[in-house]
């Protein structure tokens, strides 16, 4: 028996084939959807994307995965999550419904701070055990690569602990995991109300935490919540510039609720992505469009916060930016573990076409993690990250929202979510 796996009998194949880099502006309109095309996988790699009969002739001994006239697609790349946390935050959800704003809840010591108290009280084993089923639910929606941020530890010790749990999740597989150090998620309460506290926490991040993260290679990226009322542009610059000598590339939570100049900072620093952007200024749009920084939009967060507003996706695309979609899965603002619903919101709320939404959740998600040459496309030489969905048209996935349509996903050729 050969070790080749053939994915055949798909009604449509969303290849997303194209250059191995972020797609910008008008390039996002083409997801390279084909009919009658299958995929051959050997080990962890895609080796051929051809008509089924051509594949069968080339690989006569291969095992077949029958896509059953469904949709064959690249695995989604969820490039922004906070998957390692303890408990849910039901009370805060209701509190916001009564009109208390997100940042006011944080000012009162809730929000991110409640997840921080909770995470600090749990063991590594508990955090690992809680995160595993969450990743399985993401994989069950067709996700094969997941970025996970720290940021609920907010001590050097608890941030390192979180990053080590993320490392364990990566080692456990089968989904690919990318780690980001988000120690600058908030000013920890014990630093907040003391003179010089903010600076002391930033010093601890840059001078104590980062060297240890780098020594054990615990994170590929550094992130900061750059938002008026949390960290300002100069503080964000310090945290991100401070990460660079330690080998961590910058990412930012930028202009989520108010415009604080975060998008322009991301562009200036050459950040791999600037995320959220619901309150981005016209200058921020222009700066991102002129940069290599991916504009990662998180529409589930805006929906769940009930803000009634969204990032200006069309303006970003029309200006020539590269737009990615991600879940922002976290217990405060986006307890969402279904990536296809993010595509739905991309179309219905952000006004993307279905093809743009697919590119945003695959190729551009990969680019937002520096992986545009590795995953996100069904092309020979790319990693064998695939999913099969029980629909016969690529537009059907964002359309039939709320349904569980993914019937199987594979990361590097290994099943993440078993076919029914
Ligand atoms: O991306 N905005 C900051 N961080 C998260 C929310 C974290 C939380 O509320 O626990 C976000 O929305
Ligand atoms: Fe986030």
pLDDT of residue 173: 87
Q: What is the pLDDT of residues 176-203, one digit of tens each?
A: 999 999 999 999 999 998 999 999 999 9
Task: Determine contact, residues 327/82, Cβ cutoff 8 Å.
Answer: no
pLDDT of residue 418: 83
CA 220/CA 179 separation, integer angstroms: 6
Q: Where are the domains of the chain?
A: 4-75+375-417, 77-367
> Which residue, by CA, sits nearest to atom 1 of ligand 1?
328
Pocket of ligand 1 (CB under 6 A): 82, 111-112, 115, 225, 253, 256, 301, 328, 330-333
Q: Which residues surround ligand 2, an ion (CB under 5 A)?
A: 328
Q: What is the pLDDT of residues 161-182, one digit of tens each?
A: 999 999 999 999 889 999 999 9
In order, the DSSP letters of 312-358 are -HHHHHHHT--EEE---BBTTTB----HHHHHHHHHHTT---HHHHH
Architecture of the domain made up of 77-367: Alpha-Beta Barrel (3.20)
Ligand 1 mean position, distance from CA 199 (Å): 21
Q: Which of 85, 107, 257, 333 to mutate to test the pocket of ligand 1 (most atoms within 8 A of CB)?
A: 333
Atom nearest to 102 CA in ligand 1: 9
Question: Does the pLDDT value for residue 138 go beyond 60?
Answer: yes
Which ligand is nearest the CA of 230, by number? 1
Residues 6+ apart with CB under 8 A from 419: 65, 388, 407, 408
CATH topology of domain 4-75+375-417: Urease, subunit C; domain 1 (2.30.40)
Question: Does the pLDDT value for residue 255 go beyond 80?
Answer: yes
CA 254/CA 338 separation, integer angstroms: 23
Global pTM? 0.98
CA 337/CA 141 separation, integer angstroms: 8
Closest to 387 (Cα-Cα) out of 2, 30, 3, 13: 13
pLDDT of residue 271: 98
- For residue 77, which phi and psi values (nearest 5 degrees)? -110, 105
Q: What is the pLDDT of residues 39-93, one digit of tens each?
A: 999 999 999 999 999 999 999 999 999 999 999 999 999 999 999 999 999 999 9
Q: What is the pLDDT of residues 105-116, one digit of tens each?
A: 999 999 999 999
Residue 420: band (very low, low, confident or very high) from pLDDT cuts 50, 70, 90? low
Atom nearest to 227 CA in ligand 1: 2
pLDDT of residue 154: 98
CA 131/CA 120 separation, integer angstroms: 15
Q: What is the pLDDT of residues 80-89, one digit of tens each?
A: 999 999 999 9
> Which residue, by CA, sits nearest to atom 9 of ligand 1?
332
Q: What is the pLDDT of residues 276-312, one digit of tens each?
A: 999 999 999 999 999 999 999 999 999 999 999 999 9
Q: Which of 82, 87, 226, 326 to mutate to test the pocket of ligand 1 (most atoms within 8 A of CB)?
A: 82
């Amino acid at each position: 028996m050969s070790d080749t796996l053939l994915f055949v009998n798909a009604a449509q194949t969303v290849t997303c084939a194209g250059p191995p880099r972020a797609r910008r502006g008008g390039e996002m309109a083409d997801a390279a959807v084909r009919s009658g095309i299958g995929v051959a996988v050997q080990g962890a790699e895609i080796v051929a994307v051809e008509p089924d009969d051509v594949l069968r002739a080339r690989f006569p001994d291969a095992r077949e995965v029958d896509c059953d006239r469904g949709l064959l697609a690249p695995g989604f790349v969820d490039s922004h999550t906070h998957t390692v946390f303890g408990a849910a935050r039901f009370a805060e959800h209701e509190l916001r419904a009564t009109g208390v704003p997100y940042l006011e809840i944080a000012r009162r010591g809730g929000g991110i701070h409640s997840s921080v108290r909770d995470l600090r009280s749990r063991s590594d084993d508990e955090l690992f055990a809680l995160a595993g089923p969450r990743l399985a639910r993401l994989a069950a929606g067709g996700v094969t690569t997941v970025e996970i941020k720290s940021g609920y530890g907010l001590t050097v010790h608890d941030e390192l602990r979180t990053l080590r749990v993320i490392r364990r999740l990566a080692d456990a597989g089968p989904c690919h995991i990318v780690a980001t150090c988000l120690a600058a998620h908030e000013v920890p309460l014990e630093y907040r109300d003391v003179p010089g506290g903010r600076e002391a926490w930033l010093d601890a991040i840059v001078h104590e935490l980062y060297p240890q993260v780098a020594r054990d290679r615990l994170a590929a990226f550094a992130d900061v919540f750059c938002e008026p009322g949390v960290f300002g542009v100069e503080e964000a610059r310090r945290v991100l510039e401070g990460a660079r000598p330690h080998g961590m590339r910058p990412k930012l939570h930028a202009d989520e609720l108010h415009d604080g100049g975060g998008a322009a900072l991301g562009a200036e620093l050459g950040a791999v992505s600037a995320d959220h952007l619901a309150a981005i200024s016209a200058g921020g749009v222009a700066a991102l469009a002129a940069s290599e920084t991916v504009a990662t939009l998180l529409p589930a967060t805006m929906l769940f916060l009930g803000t009634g507003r969204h990032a200006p996706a069309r303006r970003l695309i029309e200006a020539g930016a590269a737009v990615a979609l991600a879940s922002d899965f976290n217990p405060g603002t986006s307890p969402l573990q279904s990536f296809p619903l993010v595509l739905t919101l991309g179309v219905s709320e952000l006004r993307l076409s279905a093809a743009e939404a697919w590119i945003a959740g695959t190729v551009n998600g990969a680019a937002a993690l520096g992986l545009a040459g590795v995953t996100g496309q069904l092309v020979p030489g790319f990693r064998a990250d695939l999913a099969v969905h029980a629909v016969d048209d690529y537009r059907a996935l964002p359309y039939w929202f709320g349904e569980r349509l993914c019937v199987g996903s594979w990361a590097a050729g290994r099943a993440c979510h078993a076919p029914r």
